[in-house]
Amino acid sequence: MAPRPLTDSPAESHREVVHRLAAAQKSNRGAAGWSRWVNRPAGRQLAALAYRLGLSPNQVTVASALLSGTGIALLATLRPTVGTGVLVASLLVLGYMLDAADGQLARLTGSGSRAGEWLDHVVDATKTAVIHLAVLISFYRFLDLPPAMLLVPLAFSAVACVFFFSVILSEQLRRSARAALGAPASPPSTEPAPVLRSLLVLPGDYGLLCVSFALLGVPSVFVPLYTLLMVANALLLLAALVRWYREMRTFTA
C-alpha cells in the first residue's frame, strides 16, 4: 500500500510526522553503519522539519548541495586548522543528512519525480568526485607532503566515482530485470541488515569520510587516516564489483 501523503493531515506534530517517515523508510539491507544508525535517523528528523516548514524534496536537495558545496570550497581554500576541520566536517555531515531527508520526504509525500531523482543523483555525483579534488588542492597548497602523496586523493576520486556509477548502474539494471519479469521494481524488505555487515562496510560510508575531516587540522593523523580510507574503499569496490558482475550474469537479456 502506498504511504498516505502528509498533506492529508497538515496539523500533525513533529513526532507524528517522524513516526510516519519511519514507516516509509527504505530497507537498511546493505547499509553501512553511519548511514544506518546516524544519517538516516537524523535525515528523518530533518525531513519532518522540512515538511512542517512546507519545503519540497527538491528544495531540501538544493539545501544539501549548498551545505556540501560550501564545505568542499572551504576545504580547498582555507588552511587546515582545527577550526577549519570542524567547520568543514559539520557542513558536510549536515549536507549528507539533508541528502537522506529529501528522499524520505519524497517517498512519504508521494512527490517524487524523475526530475527530483535526477537532481539528487547529479548533486551526489558532483560531490563524490569534487570532494577528493578539494583534498588534493589542500594537500598541495598547505601541506609539505612527498609528491607521491598527491596521488592518494586522485586515486580516492577515481575509486569513489567508479563506486558511485557502479551502484547506480547496478540498481538500474536490477529494476529493468525485475520489470521484464513483472516483479516489483524495489521489493520491500523488513529484514534488518546484519550488524556485522554494516560495520564491515563502514569505511566505504560517505558519512565516515565527512566526519574524518574534523581531524583536518592535525595532518599527522588526518593524512594517514585519509589514506587508509582510500585503500579500504578500493578493496570494498573490488569485492563489490565481483559480486555485482556475478549478479548481472544471472539476469537474462
In whole angstroms, give the CA distance from residue 61 to residue 47.
11
Does residue 191 have a pLDDT over 80? no
Give the tens place of pLDDT for each residue, 76-134: 999 999 999 999 999 999 999 999 999 999 988 888 899 999 999 999 999 999 999 99
Q: Which three cell numbers stand for residue 146?
A: 612527498
pLDDT at 181: 77
In whole angstroms, give the CA distance from residue 55 to residue 126.
23
In whole angstroms, give the CA distance from residue 40 to residue 104.
9
pLDDT at 2: 43
Q: Which residues contact 1 (CB under 8 A, 6 or more apart)?
A: none
- 132 burial (CB, 10 Å; 0-12 / 13-18 / 19+) is buried
Is 50:105 a contact under the CB 8 Å cutoff?
A: yes
Buried b / exposed e across 43-74, counting CB within 10 Å, b at 16+?
bbbbbbbbbeeebbbbebbbbbbebbbebbeb
pLDDT at 110: 84
Average pLDDT over residues 150-154: 98
pLDDT at 6: 44
For domain 30-175+206-249, give the CATH number: 1.20.120.1760
pTM of the model: 0.89
Query: Which band of pLDDT confidence, cut at 50, 70 and 90, is reported for residue 7?
Result: very low
Mean pLDDT of the chain: 89
Q: Categorise residue 182: left if φ over 0, alpha if ψ from -120 to 50, beta otherwise.
A: left
In whole angstroms, give the CA distance from residue 38 to residue 198.
12
